[in-house]
Chain A
Amino acid sequence: MLGNFRENSLKVYFYVFIAVTYLPLLVLILLSFNRARTPGFPLVGFTLEWWQRFFTSASAMNTVQNSFLIGSATAMISTALGLLAAFALVRHFFRGKNLANALVLLPLCLPPVVVAVGALVFLRTVLDLELSRLTIILGHTLLALPFTTLVLIARLIGFDRTLEEAAYDLGANEFTTFRKITLPIIMPGIFVALMMGFIISFEDVVVAYFLSGFDTTVPVLVFGLQRRATGLPMVTVISAFMVFIMVVFLIVSLLWARRAAK
């Protein structure tokens, strides 16, 4: 009887946890269709006005475009750099390897605000660079690189190298071996690394906030609007939009996990 109660309360806790963590996302979507001037309850009626304003606002669309651009660039750069570093760190022994590991982990050991502040001071005063989308991409690469590298290291550790040797024995050169053997095997790792790079960039506020100039990202826009408490209906609708993007990502990941499990 008692055991049964314990089992059930654990199960209930699990579903309540999911419900509570998803609640703000559902409320955002719900209120993005609410007709009230200030977002909140009670619901007064259905409208598409906020969504229409969002999709026709040139500045909002510009930040959405920036976010996608910066996210994609971050994903590709951090995955490429992470992949190369992972190869060196897994397949070779060399002096200073611990140092290299530590350097890769460094951004994880610091609060993002410290990374952002360091990059800001360095870029502005030492390199005298104007802040732009490029500086955000750079900052996001710093955030994403530890994650992409670790994921790819994990993938490479489980790699059966005799497969590559077999290819060499059969007369394949390095390039062919990489393309036909190595790449297909580590592809799931690359996919995960790309996703991580994109998501880290897409959801980051801290680094983008410090390193953006005129062109900014969606989270920075939402931060600014929320901070001044102006245009909260716009904030609601942009947030709801971000939730939809997240859902798309979840679905892609789930389908991928399904496929990988087969």
Chain B
Amino acid sequence: MSTFKKIVGVFRKRERLTIAWQLSPAMLVMLLFILIPLGFIAIYSFGDMVGLRFIPEWGFHNYVRLFTELDGRYLQLLLKSLGMSALVTVGAIVIAYPVAYFISFRVEKYKYTWLILLMGPYLVSWVVLIMGWRLIIGYSGFLNYILMQVGLLSEPARGTWGNWGTVVFILVIGWAPWLVFPLFVSLEKIDKNVLEAAADLGANPIRRFLRITLPLSSPGLLVATFFILLPMFGEFVTPILAGGTGGIMYGVLIESAFLGWGSWAFGSAASVILMIISLAAATALLRFVSLERLMESL
């Protein structure tokens, strides 16, 4: 018996060594360059700056500034960004859903070819996509040109670029192709016999969709939300390039605090707030989304 235990012990030890060397590189990278840095931002957020130099004068002043300065504009900006994030999330899922539905329920052959093809516009950089949209809905863009040719406009319209709506529009259209995938995966899992049974029992198509298809695709809806919502909280590229003054988002505040006016302490405080909100949202979503669900959707 004791020899048996010894042998098991040797194997166990060897296994532990294997686990250690396989796991440690990835874990070290995450620990060293994400977890510890997050701790440092937290520390920084309680410090102060003299010009561009950080000084260890600890206190809550950055947070006080964040919540009270400019009559609470920063706070309003945060709330507005969260609202825009929610709007973009819902918008992108709503326009992606019918596409995923079509591929899953109506396309017979080459489903994956279509899916890969759909992904194309998401695979280019955001800045490229924004430039493309600038050339369509911008001042000298395609839309204005067409509308003037047809005679609907006498001079180019300015309202389509550089505002709040532009940002939401570009983000919705830009994210939708990527969200088709998780939605498709969960729709594909639905047993089509259930729908047939419901039809036999007299449920009309709308009822079948609302009572069966939609609830059964909820894992896909959650994964899609997880993919889009968290990056959206910190979005600054689209607001800067396409948003003008009206389309500004909270991420822009972080960007300019760090790279514009160089106040790392204040920027850290702004980031800590964003980090807390994101981690809270992620934890809430991950309660319903398992690792397996995330994996299937990649």
Contact = CB atoms under 8 A, between A and B. Distances in A.
Contact of B26 (A28, A149, A218): A149
A38 to B, nearest CB: 7
A10 B128 contact: no
Interface string B222-238: 00001000111111110
Main secondary structure of the interface of B (DSSP, over half): helix
A214 interface: no
Nearest to A152: B295
A82 B30 CA distance: 12
B275 A110 contact: yes
A113 B23 contact: no
Interface string B1-32: 00000000000000110110111011101110
Interface stretch (B67-75, B98-106, B189-197): B98-106
A41 B145 contact: yes
Contacts of A101: 291
A122 B37 contact: yes
A242 B117 CA distance: 16
Given A106-B30, A117-B271, A121-B44, A92 B127 contact: no
A114 B138 contact: no
Which of B16, B113, B139, B144 lies at the interface centre, i.e. has the most chain A CB atoms within 10 A of its CB? B113
Contacts of B159: none
Interface stretch (A51-59, A164-172, A178-186, A198-206): A198-206
A104 B98 CA distance: 32
Nearest to A27: B135
Interface in B246-298: 251, 254-255, 258-259, 264, 267-268, 271, 274-275, 278-279, 282-283, 286, 291, 294-296, 298
Q: Which of A21, A85, A122 has the most CB of B within 10 A?
A: A21
A111 B142 contact: no
A249 B255 CA distance: 31
A81 B130 CA distance: 33
Interface residues of B, number: 95
A141 interface: yes
A interface, size bucket? 35 or more
A45 interface: no
Contacts of B127: 205, 219, 222-223, 226, 239
Given A85-B23, A121-B41, A17 B18 contact: no
B133 interface: yes
Interface in B117-157: 117-121, 123-136, 138-142, 144-145
A64 interface: no
A163 interface: no
Interface of B: 15-16, 18-19, 21-23, 25-27, 29-31, 33-38, 40-41, 44, 54, 95, 98-99, 101-103, 106, 112-113, 116-121, 123-136, 138-142, 144-145, 173, 176-177, 205, 226, 230-237, 240-241, 251, 254-255, 258-259, 264, 267-268, 271, 274-275, 278-279, 282-283, 286, 291, 294-296, 298
8 contacts: A24-B129, A85-B23, A92-B18, A103-B31, A110-B234, A142-B33, A205-B237, A253-B116
Given A40-B139, A120-B258, A125-B40, 6 more contacts: A21-B173, A24-B129, A100-B27, A108-B294, A206-B234, A236-B131
Q: Lowest 6 CB-CB distances: which A-B pairs, in order?
A: A24-B132, A111-B234, A40-B140, A118-B37, A109-B282, A41-B145
